[in-house]
Amino acid sequence: MTHTHSHSDPHPGTAVIVEQLTRRFNNGPPVLDGLDLAIAPGEFVALLGHSGSGKSTLLRTLAGLDPVTDGAVTRPREVSVVFQEHRLLPWKRVWKNIVLGQEDKGIRQRAEAVLEEVGLSHRSNAWPLTLSGGEAQRAALARALVREPAFLMLDEPFAALDALTRLKMQQLVADLWKKHGCAVLLVTHDVDEALLLADRAVVLERGRIRVDVPITIPRPRRHSDPGFEGLRSLLLDALGVHAA
Amino acid sequence: MSDAITLTGPYKTAEAKGKTRSLRTLVSIRRYASPLVLVCLWQVACSLGFLSTRLVASPLQIVVTGWTLVRDGTLPFNLGVSLLRAGSGLGLAITLGVALALISGLSRIGEDVVDAPLQILRTLPALALVPLYILWFGIGETPKILLVAVGAMFPIYLNLHKGIRSIDPKLVEMASTLGLSRWQTIRDVFLPGALPDFLTGLRYAVGVSWLMLVVAEQVNAESGIGHMMMDAQDFLRTDIILVGLLVYGVLGLMSDQIVRFLENTLLAWRPDGRKGRSA
């Protein structure tokens, strides 16, 4: 059973479908083990798991960086990825980084508009190496959004930021998601981040889904919301961390 | 009996600041003063007959001879010939070096085919090729230009190849998620990313090309600065030889400044501390 391409959508109204995806490296134990996952259009899914649980492999496969060798993946053509590191080209000014690979007219205006959205229009002409960590990650978000993706992948995008900047960025992502309405897959270690942002939390363990739970707390959410505690201990439990 | 200590910097008044500034000018003057004094001593030694002009001409004599050589057209002509040789050799070196570095930097097969022979060849001293070149190409312009080209090609190739190979794979991955084509990736990621290393290579290559030129023009030539100096040797004209040395020195200095200028312009994206670092 080997399908590698993004064929036409067999399930209307579904952004991303992963079916029986198995991936192993050098005949070792499977990193992804017959994984099934569906993400609806506009749905925000948080993917949790320990290092080595297969989170990154799943994301890389969805991004098209790793091949599909066993199983099938269907996803929209327009996808964007934001990585833990900003991965901006240091030799291009911020706005040039945003429009990288896009050559149609009026792209500069769209870049400026997106930079405005992420609150970075004043650094449009700056060199990336002069940006702070938070600013660089905003620029990376802008670069992802300017392509109007139907599916946005965020690979621990705030892990390298300080705690205060992280809170601001989480708020920003929540706002941008509401505005753009794309499906989002957020890979994270942070249970609170998942609870704050996602419609659904998926915990991965040894290449399989261990827990798949909807988060129905009304938005905008706060850490003091009553539903938080129960879900937090459920997810921490699934991650093998037992609250005392 | 307190454990507290107070840490203060030296308190600077306006007067003290003025003093440091004048001190700094003094230091920069001192840097230039020392060579000037040496030149004066040299002049005095020649004028008083301590130094024979057969061994070394006096600074004044060098200036006068230099001016004469400019007036009668000898220096401009020979300088033009030398510049043309160095320029065409360097141009050839850049073309070849960049082409080979791209082939071996951007494909594994290319690396296997191109890199191994070049790594072997680069251990040969290029100057040792002179006898072979004379046999192959005679004593015209070809061997001189080729000698410069071969010598200057290696620093270009080696540095650019290293630059391309050390591009952060994460940036390449990012380019692929953004849907950049292979050509766009080369244009926007590989080439600008390898530019700092290329410029380092270029700076070395310029130095090497002057070195090669000196040898090429002194072994067999009928024109050029090197030939002018060898000719002067026959007539014991140390002044002309020293004018030639001076010209080589100025050329080396100027070409270094040009590369430095290129670095500052093309690598404006680097934080200040790394710009125009000395090689």
Question: In the structure, what pLDDT confidence band is assigned to residue A11 with cuts at 50, 70 and 90?
Answer: very low
Residues B100 and B24 in one domain: no
pLDDT for B278 equals: 41
What is the token pair recorded at B278?
A: 């000395």
Residues B18 and B83 in one domain: no
Residues B213 and B245 in one domain: yes
Q: Is A241 on the interface with B (CB under 8 A)?
A: no
Q: Using N-to-C axis directions, what is the helix angle for B141-165 and B191-219, rounded to 10°?
A: 160
Provide the H-helix boundaries in A10-100.
55-63, 94-98
Q: Is B270 on the interface with A (CB under 8 A)?
A: yes
Question: How many angstroms separate the CA of residue A88 from the nearest CA in chain B?
Answer: 8
Q: Is residue B4 part of a domain?
A: no
ipTM beyond 0.90?
A: no
Question: In the structure, what pLDDT confidence band is assigned to residue A102 with cuts at 50, 70 and 90?
Answer: confident
Q: Is A80 on the interface with B (CB under 8 A)?
A: yes
pLDDT for A99 equals: 93
Q: Is A107 on the interface with B (CB under 8 A)?
A: no
For residue A140, what is the nearest residue in chain B, using CA coordinates? B174
pLDDT for B11 equals: 63
Residues B161 and B198 in one domain: yes
B140 vs B147: CA distance, rounded Å:
12
Question: In the structure, what pLDDT confidence band is assigned to residue A8 with cuts at 50, 70 and 90?
Answer: very low
Are A150 and A78 in contact, with CB atoms under 8 Å apart? yes
For residue A91, what is the nearest residue in chain B, using CA coordinates? B269
Q: What is the mean pLDDT of each run of 10 residues along chain B (279 residues)?
A: 70 64 78 87 90 87 94 93 95 96 93 92 87 87 92 96 95 93 94 95 94 87 90 90 93 91 92 51
Q: Is residue B8 part of a domain?
A: no
In this predicted structure, the answer to whether residue A92 has a pLDDT above a threshold of 90 is yes
A17 vs A37: CA distance, rounded Å:
6
Residues of B with Cβ-Cβ distance to A85 under 8 angstroms:
170
Residues B121 and B229 in one domain: yes
B47 vs B53: CA distance, rounded Å:
10
In this predicted structure, the answer to whether residue A58 has a pLDDT above a threshold of 60 is yes
Are A71 and A21 in contact, with CB atoms under 8 Å apart? yes
User: Domain range for residue B29?
Assistant: 13-51
Q: Is A25 on the interface with B (CB under 8 A)?
A: no
Backbone angles phi, psi at A89, to 5 degrees: -75, 120
| B72 vs A106: which has the higher pLDDT | B72
| A242 vs B175: which has the higher pLDDT | B175
A41 vs B208: CA distance, rounded Å:
62
pLDDT for B54 equals: 82
User: How far lies B33's CA from each of A12, A173, B26, B27, B41, in Å?
Assistant: 83, 63, 10, 10, 12
Residues B186 and B165 in one domain: yes
pLDDT for A3 equals: 42
Rounded (5°) CA angle A226-A228-A233: 125
Report the length, in residues, of chain B.
279
| Range A113-121 average pLDDT | 93
Q: Is residue B133 part of a domain?
A: yes
> What is the total count of domains within chain B?
2
Residues of A with Cβ-Cβ distance to B175 under 8 angstroms:
100-101
Q: Is residue B37 part of a domain?
A: yes
For residue B18, what are the contacts with CB-CB under 8 A and spacing of at least 6?
none
pLDDT for A2 equals: 39
Q: Is residue B3 part of a domain?
A: no
Q: Is residue B1 part of a domain?
A: no
Question: How many angstroms separate the CA of residue B53 from the nearest CA in chain A?
Answer: 55
Q: Is residue B279 part of a domain?
A: no
Residues B19 and B116 in one domain: no
Q: Is B195 on the interface with A (CB under 8 A)?
A: yes
What is the token pair recorded at A43?
A: 């749905």
Residues of B with Cβ-Cβ distance to A126 under 8 angstroms:
none
The full DSSP string for B30-57 is HHHHHHHHHHHHHHHHHHTTSS-TTT--
Residues B64 and B47 in one domain: no
Q: Is residue B18 part of a domain?
A: yes
Cis peptide before A220 (omega within 30 of 0): yes
Q: Is B179 on the interface with A (CB under 8 A)?
A: yes
CATH of the domain at B150: 1.10.3720.10
Residues B108 and B225 in one domain: yes
What is the token pair recorded at B232?
A: 């002067």
What is the token pair recorded at A57?
A: 């492999």
In this predicted structure, the answer to whether residue A40 has a pLDDT above a threshold of 60 is yes
Residues of B with Cβ-Cβ distance to A65 under 8 angstroms:
173, 176-177
Question: How many angstroms separate the CA of residue B174 from the nearest CA in chain A?
Answer: 7
Residues B198 and B64 in one domain: yes
Is the dihedral angle over the CA atoms A187, A190, A195, A196 positive or is it negative?
negative
| C-beta atoms of B180 and A89 within 8 A | no
Are A238 and A210 in contact, with CB atoms under 8 Å apart? yes
Residues B101 and B45 in one domain: no
Strand order in the sheet with A183-188: A79-82, A151-155, A183-188, A44-48, A200-205, A208-214
DSSP label at residue B111: I
Residues B112 and B157 in one domain: yes
- According to DSSP, the β-strands at A79-82 and A151-155 are parallel
Q: Counting beta carbons within 10 angstroms of the beta carbon of residue B33, is it exposed (0 to 12), middle (13 to 18) or buried (19 or more)?
A: exposed
